[in-house]
Amino acid sequence: MRRIIAALAVCAAAAGCTTTVTATPVPAGDVGTTSTKSTTSRKPTATSTPQPYLTETPVLEINEAATKPGTKLKFGTQGVVPAFSRYAKGNLGVTVTVESVKAPDADIDKLPLKEEDKAKLRGKNFFYVRAELENLDGVNFTGFQAPIFTASTKSGGFPGTLLGTSKISVTGCAEALFAPDTFTTKGAKFPTCRLYFGLASDPITSLRYGEKPYDRDPAKAVTWQS
């Protein structure tokens, strides 16, 4: 039986510090996460579709269509970033939003954490960071890994997050880590969501994208703000 290990990263936002608490392993069958119906679909294989970037990382360039480094956008505004899958490279449209809701006890109870870690979440807010990715060039982005943004809060600190080997799924926010095999046509969209938590009075106000060809330096990244 597969076992799931999760970690609770608790951040004191005002101090800007983070500590990590590793939870007791919990049998997968005892974790009440949202289930995903298993489907069988034919995925591109090395014999049917070339995978030039399976073992090599391509050089990504910021062309005229891409958002320039250092750009600041409002939440809900689409940015354009160069990206690649193991099959191809091209431009992706990226639109991010943040929703803050009081963390439901029912969802906290379902998380694969120790009781003392669950207690730290009660009374906090969940922050749903949603990203909608759009295939702008019609290239094969099958298996593209959903981006992780650097999140900052109103106070200048960092929100808490859950780290682990399994997808986190709560009401209103189900993680999708990799793009499906239908993410291959121009205009195709891939929505995903990542869960953070913190104080209602200190919400996420900034999300920074610093993957290549950008940089984690804010002056060379693309940043979305409230």
Could you report the average pLDDT of every consecutive run of 10 residues in the chain (226 residues)? 47 41 41 40 60 95 97 98 98 98 96 92 97 98 96 97 78 94 98 96 98 96 98
Beta strands in 26-88 (DSSP E): 26-27, 72-74, 79-84
The gap from C-alpha 160 to its chain's centroid, in whole angstroms, comes to 14
The domains located in the chain, with CATH, are 3-25+69-225 (2.60.40.1240)
Question: What's the confidence (pLDDT) of residue 11?
Answer: 46
Question: What's the confidence (pLDDT) of residue 170?
Answer: 93
Name the token pair of 15.
Answer: 């101090």
Question: What's the confidence (pLDDT) of residue 23?
Answer: 42
The C-alpha R_g of the chain, in whole angstroms, comes to 18
Residues 106/107/112/118 CA torsion (nearest 10 deg): -70
Strands 17-22 and 26-27, by their bridges, are unpaired
Q: Is 106 helix (H, G, I), strand (E, B) or coil?
A: helix
Query: Which residue carries 């807010």 as its tokens?
Result: 125
- Give the separation between CA 16 and CA 182, rounded to whole angstroms: 40
Question: What's the confidence (pLDDT) of residue 48?
Answer: 80
Specify the amino acid at residue 70: G
Query: Which residue carries 């009374």 as its tokens?
Result: 123
Question: What's the confidence (pLDDT) of residue 7?
Answer: 52
Question: What's the confidence (pLDDT) of residue 223?
Answer: 98
Question: What's the confidence (pLDDT) of residue 8?
Answer: 57
Name the token pair of 176.
Answer: 């999708």
Question: What's the confidence (pLDDT) of residue 35?
Answer: 39
